[in-house]
């Protein structure tokens, strides 16, 4: 049953790729399979799951015989390794750099790291110390632009406030 759930997830994953990413354009799909190695490995993993899902019933076990069925279903190990490689190569291409450590010179308000507001969007811009208005002005700008979901002020100014300065 776990294998069928894995196949179901792979079908959903593949369908979203076909539909939302490639809009069922077969030429684009084959071009993408050839161009990107992580797509190639993911496609291989999916195609290895197809015969396993088809032969997972008791009738197929009888037709193939227990020994041949077991040999066929060992392909799940190859498919699982391909799935891990597919995920790793995909994530490796989209690694986000780590956030800088907070120092007293980095932030105007010392409690910004404690409540998490300093990290909100911090990976999008390089770290820079605050040399500007009082933290309460940043808080009012932050609340005006994003609402008060973070609960505190941050030394990260928005692009709009940076352009005004």
Give the dihedral sign, CA 43/49/53/59.
Answer: positive
Q: State the Cα–Cα distance between residues 163 and 140, nearest whole angstrom.
A: 16
* pTM, full prediction: 0.55
The tens digit of pLDDT for each residue in 42-98 reads 999 999 999 999 999 999 999 999 999 999 999 999 999 999 999 999 887 665 555
Q: State the Cα–Cα distance between residues 139 and 150, nearest whole angstrom.
A: 10
- Domains of the chain, residue spans: 2-92, 110-164
Q: State the Cα–Cα distance between residues 64 and 144, nearest whole angstrom.
A: 67
The tens digit of pLDDT for each residue in 132-152 reads 555 555 556 656 665 655 444
- What pLDDT sits at residue 138? 54
Decide: 86 and 38 in contact? Cβ < 8 Å.
Answer: yes
């Amino acid at each position: 049953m776990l294998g069928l759930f894995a196949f179901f997830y792979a079908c959903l994953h593949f369908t979203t790729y076909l539909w939302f990413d490639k809009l069922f354009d077969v030429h684009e799909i084959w071009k993408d399979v050839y161009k990107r190695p992580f797509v190639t490995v993911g496609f291989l993993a999916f195609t290895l799951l197809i015969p396993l899902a088809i032969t997972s019933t008791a009738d197929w076990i009888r037709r193939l015989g227990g020994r041949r069925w077991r040999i066929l279903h060992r392909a799940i190990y190859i498919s699982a390794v391909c799935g891990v490689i597919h995920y790793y190569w995909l994530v490796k291409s989209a690694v986000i750099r780590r956030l800088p450590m907070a120092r007293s010179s980095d932030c105007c308000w010392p409690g910004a790291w404690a409540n998490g507001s300093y990290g909100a969007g911090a990976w999008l811009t390089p770290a820079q110390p605050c040399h500007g208005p009082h933290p309460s002005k940043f808080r009012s700008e932050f609340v005006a632009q994003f609402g008060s979901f973070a609960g505190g002020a941050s030394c990260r100014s928005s692009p709009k406030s940076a352009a005004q300065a």
